[in-house]
Amino acid sequence: MNVLVTGGAGYIGSHTVVELLRSGHEVVVVDDLSNAKIEVIDRIKEITGKRLHFYWIDCADKEKLWDIFRNHSVDAVIHFAGFKAVGESVQKPLQYYRNNLDSTMTLLEVMEEFGCKKLVFSSSATVYGPNNPHPYKEDMPAIQSSSPYGWTKVMIERILTDYVTAHPDFCAILLRYFNPIGAHESGLLGDDPNGIPNNLMPFIGRVAAGKLEKLTIFGGDYDTPDGTCQRDYLHVVDLAVGHLKALEYAAKHEGVEAINLGTGNGISVLELVTAFEKVNNMKLPYVIGPRRDGDLPAFWADATKAKELLGWEATHTVEDMCRSSWNFAKNAST
Ligand code: UD1
């Protein structure tokens, strides 16, 4: 298939592009490089030995996106492009709503003009909000979030659902990710955010590299086995393979499907820190600090739908995630 990947130079996008190329798909990447580096494109080529088309554009730019659809016969789209920093979204809600919603609606309009009817969307477990019991199942209400970033995911899921109601021959797969960590085994691709990281694993990577002094674990008094929060961490390469499976499913189906991508297991912050120390043979300086606003004590996926519908299951261990994260972070530029 000819697959357009928006945000294909980003953390999850780049790993997905590698898996697409390896499976013989033709790939067109569009990315505005607002939170990604141009070198990623060369690194993808280096890893796969394959060529790809890259356009440095904002996918909310309709004319430019239209030109891309005119020049490439796009069979399907995987839509990653979007702002994703939870804290920043609280400070800059309009930017988040404008960017994330506009880019999606522009994309849908152009897809409609070119008769492209297959879309895989990068959603998040954040759509389950604070009120559902875990493990989260796809048929639970997914209509609430705790940040403007999360609300853009809720709203885009709604937009896509309404779009499919109006166009029943369209297929939209809403992939609800849990907590992707880890990096490509080559050490060439990984999570390398601009500035001080908000997410746990990039922060750990910079502490391990001596670029940050210590990790603060947000809260040690939660009602969990060791008092720290539990999350469903999954390897980014497993997540990338999940997109490939979702694309194959979309190619043969119509309608809208929300699907969790997680391992189905909860791991605590402290367990992750300990695993990182053990596999990488180092000590990580850390302190237990106060809770972070908006954090939920524990959640993980019910991962059965992905297995049944897509034949997808996470295969990497927590040790794989910690080893590959460090293999990338020790050479990362920031
Ligand atoms: C958040 C978002 C999620 C988003 C994901 C990736 C919410 C509710 N969740 O998940 O939608 O997809 O980021 O961008 O908005 N931690 C520390 N110290 C640190 C950093 C994190 O202890 O320096 C802890 C947190 O308290 C949490 C865990 O590590 O328990 C994971 O945090 P993080 O990586 O930020 O992901 P989430 O908050 O789970």
Residue with the two structure tokens 């720290």 = 228
Ligand 1 atom 12: residue of nearest CA: 124
Confidence at residue 193, expressed as pLDDT on a 0 to 100 scale:
87
- Pairing of the two strands 230-231 and 267-268: antiparallel
Crossing angle (nearest 10°) for helices 148-166 and 93-113: 20
Whether 128 is catalytic is no
Is the predicted pLDDT of residue 212 greater than 70, yes or no? yes
Q: Is there a cis peptide before residue 197, judged by omega within 30 degrees of 0?
A: no
**Is the CB of residue 84 less than 8 Å from the CB of residue 11?**
no
Q: What is the pLDDT of residue 36?
A: 93
Work out the end-to-end distance of the chain between its first and last CA atoms, rounded to an integer number of angstroms.
Answer: 35
* Owner of token pair 């945000």: 7
CA atoms within 13 A on the CB side of 278: 10
- Residues 198 and 287 sit within 8 Å (Cβ to Cβ): no
Residue list, ligand 1 pocket, CB within 6 Å: 84, 86, 124, 126, 146-147, 150, 179, 198-200, 203, 215-218, 229, 231, 269, 292, 294-295
Ligand 1 centroid vs 229 CA: distance in angstroms? 9
The DSSP H or E segment spanning 86 is helix 86-91
Structure token digits, residue 190: 């990984």
77 vs 80: CA distance, rounded Å: 9
Exposed e or buried b for every residue in 270-294, given b needs 16+ CB within 10 A? bbbbebbbebbeeeeebeeeeeeee
Task: Report pLDDT for 293.
Answer: 86
Q: How many residues belong to the chain? A: 334
Over range 297-304, report the average pLDDT: 97
Residue 334 has pLDDT above 70, yes or no: no
Give the number of the atom of ligand 1 that is nearest the alpha carbon of residue 292: 26
Structure tokens at 35: 């939170």
pLDDT beyond 90 at 219: yes
pLDDT for 144 equals 86
The pLDDT tens digits for 147-181 are 999 999 999 999 999 999 999 999 999 999 999 99
pLDDT of residue 194: 83
Q: Which 8-state DSSP code applies to residue 72?
A: S
Residue nearest (by alpha carbon) to ligand 1 atom 10: 179
Structure tokens at 249: 């499913």
Residue 85 in this model has a pLDDT that exceeds 80: yes
> Model pTM?
0.97
Which atom belonging to ligand 1 lies closest to the Cα atom of 228? 30
Which atom of ligand 1 lies nearest, measured to the CA of 289? 22
* Cβ 225 vs Cβ 261: under 8 Å: no
Catalytic residue among 55, 96, 128, 149: 149
> Residue 323: is its pLDDT beyond 90?
yes
Task: Report yes or no: 302 and 135 within 8 Å, Cβ to Cβ.
Answer: yes
